[in-house]
């Protein structure tokens, strides 16, 4: 009887992931058996089984799972984005290809991104096991309904365009919208309720706020995630969150060994002369940048070189790109003074951004002929992707060898997503951010470069240990 009883309890451990079983399985089994013996039971109760199922499945939603799912989401986004880019540049169109790309980019990618976020937040203690599991199930249904809603609308639109009566899935558009709205509201309510409870809000006020915000936000979020770039951004955010969740876990474990390294790598901030130089470069960049914006918008009315509006815009963008170069220098000095990363990991990504600016300038030399612009714009997009990859890789880097590979994978995929999904749309607008960022650097850059190093992501012990040493030197 005892062996049979042991087996009945041992079977419950199958719900748990292997690493958890290896670390805690024998201790949990021992406790369950002691309790059963004391209560003279020959097997687990129903509630005990249910608790094991919830806890075991919940334990599977850990930081490692979050990283794996996020990487899958990023891969899917890259594949869908590459398909879209290939179709756009070659002009080839296939209905099934389009359906597949849409399903992956606006159905699979946001779902995987959301599941990864849920796993990260469960691992960080924001969600209980039951809530995290419920969220995964409800979010899956909501995203499936959201995708079906989009397909129904698309089919109905095509039918109306062709002048024929709508049929099949398109007839279910309204009930699909309602069902997607309800499930989306449920998923958001489960999320917000947990987050508001953490903020110790009044129970009634929190319930009202959760209800209203969920009902209003559900359709907005649903529509936003039907766009491939937005879904890709969600996947990027999920990957970053998962990477930092795993990093936090490992860093906590490795804190004593890491402490001297961190203490050594934190710089004491920039000197007074360098801070003056930062402000000067920021000011130059801001003045030239605002002039570039004014020239792009009004140049054709007063400049003899701008023969029409298009030429004026092109010349204005070229001015903005040149104005961006001292800004990149100032940004590099600020970041080098604040972060504990190697100089190559600060100046390397900024150098890639400078190359992206150069390629954009070459592209605009051929404006407005898109065919002449496209190769250089692609190059600009690729340099931006390199900058993103280089920037993320050391910052996501985890404490041990295998995790370092994962961090590099996430970073490379993020860069590829930018190049394939967002780059062609976002890169041309980047020059217009130059005067805004330069103005901020001209005003606050000196202070930022002198301030204490960023302590985000470090445990309080490490922060205390690392910040007390350079404090006096900085002031």
- Contacting another protein (CB under 8 A), which of 99, 174, 178, 197? 197
Q: 368: cis peptide before it, omega within 30°?
A: yes
Of 47-106, binders to another protein (CB under 8 A) are 47-48, 51-52, 54-56, 58
- How far is the C-alpha of 159 from the C-alpha of 84, rounded, in Å? 24
Segment near another protein (CB under 8 A), from 193-201, 209-217, 232-240, 262-270? Answer: 193-201
Would you say 20 or 444 has its CB closer to another protein?
20
Closest approach of Cβ 215 to another protein, in Å? 22
Give least dist CB 142 to another protein, A.
23
Q: Which residue's structure tokens are 């039918």?
A: 159
Site string for another protein, 152-191 (x = CB under 8 A): ----------------------------------------
Distance CA 449, CA 469 (A): 17
Q: Which residues contact 268 (CB under 8 A, 6 or more apart)?
A: 470, 473, 474
- Verify binding: residue 29, another protein, rule CB under 8 A: yes
Question: Is residue 26 a contact point for another protein (CB under 8 A)?
Answer: yes
- Is residue 27 a contact point for another protein (CB under 8 A)? yes
* 200 is a contact residue toward another protein (CB under 8 A): yes
Cβ count within 10 A of residue 462? 20
Query: Are 256 and 423 spatial neighbours (Cβ–Cβ below 8 Å)?
Result: no
Of 128 and 303, nearer to another protein (C-beta) is 128
Please report how close the Cβ of residue 25 comes to another protein at its closest, in angstroms. Answer: 9
C-alpha 4/C-alpha 262 separation (Å) is 53
Type and span of the H or E element at 405: helix 401-417
Half-sphere exposure of residue 415: CA atoms within 13 angstroms, side-chain side: 22
> Closest distance between another protein and the C-beta of residue 394, in Å?
26
CA dist 347 → 67, 284, 341, 343, 352 (Å): 28, 20, 10, 6, 9
Q: Where on the phi/psi map is residue 202: left (φ > 0), alpha (ψ -120 to 50), or beta?
A: beta
Interface residue with another protein, options 40, 91, 96, 125 (CB under 8 A): 125
Length of the chain: 475
When computed from its CA atoms, the radius of gyration of the chain, rounded to whole angstroms, is 27
Q: Is 378 in the site for another protein (CB under 8 A)?
A: no
Does 28 help bind another protein (rule: CB under 8 A)?
Answer: yes
Q: Is 34 in the site for another protein (CB under 8 A)?
A: yes
- Near another protein by CB under 8 A: residue from 162, 164, 199, 257: 199
Of 8, 33, 154, 463, the residue at the interface with another protein (CB under 8 A) is 33
Around Cβ 272, how many Cβ atoms within 10 Å?
A: 10
Q: Choose between 55 and 263: whose C-beta lies nearer to another protein.
A: 55
Contact status: 129 vs another protein (CB under 8 A): yes
Of 302, 324, 378, 426, the residue nearest 88 (C-alpha): 378
Binding residues for another protein, per CB under 8 A? 12, 24, 26-35, 38, 47-48, 51-52, 54-56, 58, 125, 128-129, 194, 197-200
């Amino acid at each position: 009887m005892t062996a049979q009883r042991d087996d009945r309890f041992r079977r419950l451990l199958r719900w748990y992931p292997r690493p958890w079983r290896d670390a805690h399985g024998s201790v949990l089994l021992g406790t369950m058996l002691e309790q059963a013996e004391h209560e003279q039971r020959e097997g687990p109760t129903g509630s005990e089984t249910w608790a094991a199922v919830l806890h075991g499945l919940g334990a599977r939603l850990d930081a490692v799972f979050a990283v794996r799912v996020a990487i899958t989401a990023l891969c899917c986004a890259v594949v869908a984005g590459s398909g879209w880019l290939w179709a756009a540049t070659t002009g080839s169109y296939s209905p099934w290809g389009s359906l597949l790309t849409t399903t992956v980019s606006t159905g699979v990618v946001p779902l995987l991104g959301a599941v990864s976020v849920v796993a990260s937040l469960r691992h960080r203690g924001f969600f209980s096991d039951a809530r995290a599991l419920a969220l995964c199930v409800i979010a899956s249904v909501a995203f499936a309904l959201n995708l079906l809603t989009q397909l129904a609308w698309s089919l109905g639109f095509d039918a109306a365009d062709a002048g024929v009566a709508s049929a099949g899935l398109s007839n279910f558009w309204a009930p699909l919208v309602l069902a997607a709205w309800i499930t989306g509201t449920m998923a958001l309510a489960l999320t917000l309720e947990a987050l508001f409870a953490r903020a110790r809000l009044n129970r009634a006020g929190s319930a009202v706020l959760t209800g209203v915000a969920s009902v209003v936000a559900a359709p907005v979020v649903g529509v936003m995630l039907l766009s491939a770039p937005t879904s890709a951004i969600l996947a990027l955010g999920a990957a970053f969150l998962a990477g930092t969740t795993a990093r936090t876990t490992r860093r906590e474990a490795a804190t004593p060994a890491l402490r001297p390294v961190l203490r050594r790598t934190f710089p004491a901030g920039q000197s007074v002369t360098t801070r003056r130089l930062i402000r000067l470069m920021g000011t130059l960049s801001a003045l030239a940048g605002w002039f570039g914006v004014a020239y792009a918008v009004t140049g054709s009315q007063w400049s003899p070189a701008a023969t029409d509006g298009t030429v004026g815009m092109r010349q204005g963008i070229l001015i903005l790109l040149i104005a961006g170069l001292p800004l990149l220098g100032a940004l590099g000095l600020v970041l080098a003074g604040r972060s504990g990363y190697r100089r190559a990991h600060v100046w390397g990504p900024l150098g890639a951004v400078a190359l992206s600016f150069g390629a954009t300038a070459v592209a605009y030399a051929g404006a407005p002929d898109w065919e002449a612009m496209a190769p250089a714009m692609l190059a600009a997009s690729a340099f931006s992707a390199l900058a993103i990859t280089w920037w993320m890789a050391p910052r996501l880097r985890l404490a041990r060898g295998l995790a370092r590979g994962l961090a590099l994978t996430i970073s490379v995929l993020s860069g590829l997503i930018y190049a394939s999904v967002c780059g062609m749309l976002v890169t041309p607008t980047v020059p217009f951010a130059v005067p805004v960022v330069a103005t901020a650097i001209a005003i606050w850059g000196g202070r930022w470069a002198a301030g204490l190093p960023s302590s985000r992501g470090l445990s309080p012990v490490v922060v205390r240990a690392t910040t007390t040493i350079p404090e006096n030197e900085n002031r």
